[in-house]
Amino acid sequence: MTVRNTLPPRPTSRRALMLQAAATGVLAAFAPMTRAVSADGTVRPYRVHVPEAALEDLRRRLSQTRWPDRETVNDRSQGVQLATLQALVRYWGSDYDWRRAEAKLNAHPQFVTDIDGLAIHFIHVRSRHPNALPLVMTHGWPGSVFELLEVIAPLTDPTAHGGHAGDAFHLVLPSLPGYGFSEKPTVSSWNPDRIGRAWDVLMKRLGYQRYVSQGGDWGAIITDAMARQAPSGLLGIHVNRIERATTVPPEVAKALTAGAPAPAGLSAEERLVFDEIRDFQKNGFGYAAIMGTRPQTIGYALADSPVAMAAWFYDKFADWVFARGEPERSLSRDQMLDDITLYWLTNTGTSGARIYWESMSASEPAAVSVPAAVTIFPGEVYKPPRSWAQRAYRNLIYYNRVEKGGHFAAWEEPQLFSAEIRAAFRSLR
């Protein structure tokens, strides 16, 4: 299925095309998902093709950016620096090629299906190896399925990437509701619990009665929700991001809430984690506070200005990759712009932000008994010791700390990430 523009038939002249785009709003009219998907459980092929008018509108907006004044410091302490963003935007407007990104998506089998009233987009790649283990893998914010593309081949065809046939997976990579080419919710309550239930429906609709789940960022929170729900057939989970609420010891949580010193008796490792949490609360949590309370307000900027969106996302790339402050050392400009452009073209900056607000209505985090595996990447924001992780995962079957990679682990280190997934689930086959 092809993404189709809902605008009237395109005019033939470039001038008329640009006038139409300006007058009607190409991005507002370009729907990330058509409603051709049936509610009867059918699964239909999907292929991405963004209208050229949307790309021309993007370039026009980039060329007409009104820039703010330069920051008054010589570092990132006030946010993304002007010269840095101007260089990225120049490249975006002149040299970046969305059609190449589009081809990367279309190189994999894509589908849509209706679950709980929403059309859900997903990539589904079956391994050629017999007895492959079905795996649903969920992205986070400000990520997308783009961050998972490089692990498809190592996980579905491990023998071609240093692994064994017995390590193969059938992969299902859904786009979160309101992200990418999945439909945007028009009512509230699409929180991690509801998404987790939808993913179980998706896996069983695809014929997978036994499967495992993996996630980072919001994908980890959704994976945790699935583990709490413990649907029949969920064999185990793996996360590369851990929820603090279920792992931090009570005395540590109390000190953090009160702004008090670290409790006595913490090990050197625990004290380091305590200090990192405190620093994040002080200097790194502003984005989540805004989206958790005012997603609609920040959404106006994200929907109207591609440069505002680029700044909002680039700031988190810089904060969360292994190469702190220098995201280009972990991700290429094209990789970052693939993701940013996907959000822009589908106008999902606002709907993507709402998951922070929706999480307020999710169930309270609780420890789970489903077999769980954890990989700690050194660039992650929160890196709890094993003893803390066991507070959340009572049946912790795998815990490993690796030496490189950050919050976007699959994107930054696809080979290492794939090796961790193989090791994490090996005992559940």
Give buried/exposed letters for 275-307 (b at 16+ CB in 10 A, else e). eebeeeeeeeeebeeebbeebeebbeebbebbb
Residue 299: closest CA among 230, 221, 351: 351
Catalytic hit among 157, 200, 217, 315: 217
**Catalytic residue check, 382:** no
Neighbouring CB atoms inside 10 A of 27's CB total 18
**Catalytic residue check, 57:** no
DSSP-assigned letters across all residues of 352-389: HHHHHHHGGGSPPP--B-S-EEEEE-TBSS----HHHH
CB 354 within 8 A of CB 290: no
Catalytic hit among 124, 129, 238, 407: 407
Query: In the 8-state DSSP scheme, what is residue 280?
Result: H
Question: For 160, what's the count of Cα atoms within 13 Å in the CB-facing half-sphere?
Answer: 10
Residue 307: closest CA among 60, 46, 21, 40: 60
Contacts of 25 by beta carbon, 8 Å cutoff, 6+ apart: none
| Residues paired with residue 110 on neighbouring β-strands, in sequence order | 46, 123
Query: In the 8-state DSSP scheme, what is residue 47?
Result: B
Separation between Cα atoms, residue 222 and residue 139, nearest integer Å: 10
**Catalytic residue check, 238:** no
Distances (CA, A) of 179 to 105, 110, 200, 314: 15, 15, 19, 17
Contacts of 13 by beta carbon, 8 Å cutoff, 6+ apart: none
Catalytic hit among 46, 208, 314, 356: 356
Separation between Cα atoms, residue 234 and residue 204, nearest integer Å: 10
CB 374 within 8 A of CB 239: yes
CB 216 within 8 A of CB 140: yes
Q: How far apart are the first and last CA of the chain?
A: 35
Contacts of 327 by beta carbon, 8 Å cutoff, 6+ apart: 314, 317, 318, 321, 336
| Positions marked active-site | 217, 356, 407
